[in-house]
Amino acid sequence: MFLAFFDAVRDAKDLSFLRFVDASFVKCSIASLTKRGAGPHEATEKTKGGFTTKVTAVRDFKQRVYTRRIDPGNDSDHKIVDAIELPGLFRRYVGDKGFSSTKFRRRIKESGHTHCIAQKSNEKAVETFHKGYYRLRHNIENVFARIRRWTRLELRRERKASHFESFLNLWAISTWIRI
């Protein structure tokens, strides 16, 4: 139900030009980890800081979330770029160096968008990017700071990934109606 409402609201107000992409970790409480509940099938994985879930979000300049997804915490950003939804037409996607891969850049261009993603120091091909847009990346970090206000999302307590994703959908809807 939340997902249908979120998709309807998101598609009705698609006016902004910039889209920001980033990912952040959410720690899992011990109560959410059982023998059957921990693992990639429930989007939890052991990292150096304990069991975590990675939340990836795409948002606009007004901090409204367009897409979100959860993955196991040990997945790197460039491994999950194929699954990220790129909504809208003719948008500019801004991301940090974690999303710097030729595959993601190619996918953005093929879907009719442009990108503003800085290169890693070990990449061979030289790609230019707009430094002014790149400096605005702090806005997506502000979105993840807003997640921390929701106690259920700051520390994952749900055993099932679908339950956690429902709370994530509710939070994404709240970014549109500002509660």
Over residues 74-101, the pLDDT tens digits come to 777 777 777 888 877 778 889 888 888 8
Domain 2-177 has CATH 3.40.50.620: no
1-6 long-range Cβ contacts below 8 angstroms, 24+ apart: 2/166, 2/169, 2/170, 2/173, 3/169, 5/173, 6/169, 6/172, 6/173
Q: What is the pLDDT of residue 41?
A: 66
Distance (Å, whole) CA 46 – CA 75: 11
Task: Name the one residue in this structure whose structure tokens are 């950003």.
Answer: 77
Which of 9-18, 51-60, 92-101, 123-132 bottoms out in mean pLDDT, i.e. has the lowest? Answer: 9-18
Domain range list for the chain: 2-177
Lookup: tokens for 160: 């099932």
**Amino acid letter, residue 154:** E
> Are the C-beta atoms of 88 and 111 separated by less than 8 Å?
no
Written as one string, the DSSP assignment of 59-84 is E-TT--EEEEEEEETT--GGGSGGG-
**φ, ψ at 31 (rounded to 5°):** -65, -25
Nearest to 117 by CA among 11, 36, 19: 19
pTM exceeds 0.95: no
- What confidence category does residue 128 fall into, taking pLDDT thresholds of 50, 70 and 90? confident
